[in-house]
Amino acid sequence: MNTPHSHPEPVDSAPSDSRRRMLLAGAGVVAGLVGVGTAWWRTQTPDAPAPTPPVDGFWANQFDTPDGGKLNLGAFQGHPLLVNFWATWCAPCVDELPLINDFYRQNKANGWQVIGLAVDKLAPVQAFLQKMPLEFPVGLAGLTGAELSRGLGNLAGGLPFSVVFGRDGMVLQRKMGRLTPADLDNWLRLK
Report DSSP state, residue 119: -
Give the Cα separation of 133 and 150 in Å (integer). 27
Give the Cα separation of 166 and 12 in Å (integer). 66
pLDDT at 29: 43
Angle between helices 91-107 and 181-188 (to 10 degrees): 40
Give the Cα separation of 150 and 157 in Å (integer). 6
User: Whose CA is closest to 80, among 101, 104, 45, 55?
Assistant: 104
β pairing state of 171-176 and 161-165? antiparallel
Domain 58-188 has CATH 3.30.450.40: no
Per-residue pLDDT tens digits for 23-50: 555 444 444 443 433 333 333 334 456 7
β pairing state of 171-176 and 81-86? unpaired
Residue 82 confidence (pLDDT) above 80: yes
pLDDT at 9: 53
User: Whose CA is closest to 150, among 137, 166, 164, 161?
Assistant: 161
C-beta of residue 64 within 8 angstroms of C-beta of residue 70: yes
Give the Cα separation of 39 and 2 in Å (integer). 56
Window from 5-19, 70-84, 143-157 with minimum mean pLDDT: 5-19
Burial class (CB in 10 A: 0-12, 13-18, 19+), 54: buried
At 75, give phi and psi (nearest 5°): -65, -15
Per-residue pLDDT tens digits for 93-109: 999 999 999 999 999 99
Give the Cα separation of 110 and 127 in Å (integer). 31
Rounded (5°) CA angle 185-88-134: 50
Mean pLDDT of the chain: 83
